Chains A and B, each alone.
Chain A
Amino acid sequence: GENVEQHPSTLSVQEGDSAVIKCTYSDSASNYFPWYKQELGKGPQLIIDIRSNVGEKKDQRIAVTLNKTAKHFSLHITETQPEDSAVYFCAASSDSGGSNYKLTFGKGTLLTVNP
């Protein structure tokens, strides 16, 4: 099955700095890579995703890059703000016959943005 490794487990940055979280996956059949943000006491919330036919995607201060050859993808947050503080999870899955499928998550990164 799929295995997703996520680094670092904790990340502390100053407000306004950039933050980068990296993930690797094992299953070459994986073709969908979402990123979730989880705040304390809440469920994970999708913040951005990327599909295997795209190398990079950006949404305001958030960007994700994908290197299928190396089997790794990264989340980039620029101009960080205190409200970006949360646990971030990467995930990977493959499309099996066009229907919904299983997401395999990394262990998460606790991001702390210091004012």
Chain B
Amino acid sequence: EAGVVQSPRYKIIEKKQPVAFWCNPISGHNTLYWYLQNLGQGPELLIRYENEEAVDDSQLPKDRFSAERLKGVDSTLKIQPAELGDSAVYLCASSSSRGVHSYNEQFFGPGTRLTVL
């Protein structure tokens, strides 16, 4: 079974430029998460999707960040315009709510390392 796929793995841009990250979750996983991981810190949730609906976007800086998951499968996270402080690793994770247990494992992709110059 393929894991969570993210692209690109690395991205270097100048400040004020736009950037987009793509995530393809594990097949059949209806829940998708975007996390931000700063250097030396744990991941912090940006947004969570249940199918195509964003059910928790309270931590997403909506003035410059946007996300979509139009068909309830893959997702795109965008930053426009990027700022120096956006340099970090952006992680995507997925999980399945269909199962015996109500607690579900979140499977993470390798992340996209963004550097804003």
Which of A's residues lie within 8 Å of B, judged by CB? 4, 6, 31-32, 34, 36, 41-46, 49, 51, 89, 91, 93, 95, 98-100, 102-103, 105-108
- Separation of A45 and B31 alpha carbons in the complex (Å): 17
A-B pairs with CB below 8 Å: how many? 61
Chain B residues within 8 Å of A44, by CB: 43, 91, 108
Residue of B42, B56, B91 with highest tally of chain A CB at under 10 A: B42
* Nearest residue, chain A, Cβ from B4: A43
- The answer for the CA separation of A106 and B42 in the assembled complex, in Å, is 6
- Given A89-B42, A107-B42, decide whether A98 and B102 contact each other with a Cβ distance below 8 A: yes
The contact size tier of chain B is 20 to 34
Question: Would B102 and A43 count as touching, CB distance under 8 A?
Answer: no
CB nearest to A44 among chain B residues: B108
Q: Is B106 in contact with A46, judged by CB distance below 8 angstroms?
A: yes
Contacts A43-B109, A43-B111; A105 near B97 (Cβ below 8 A)? no
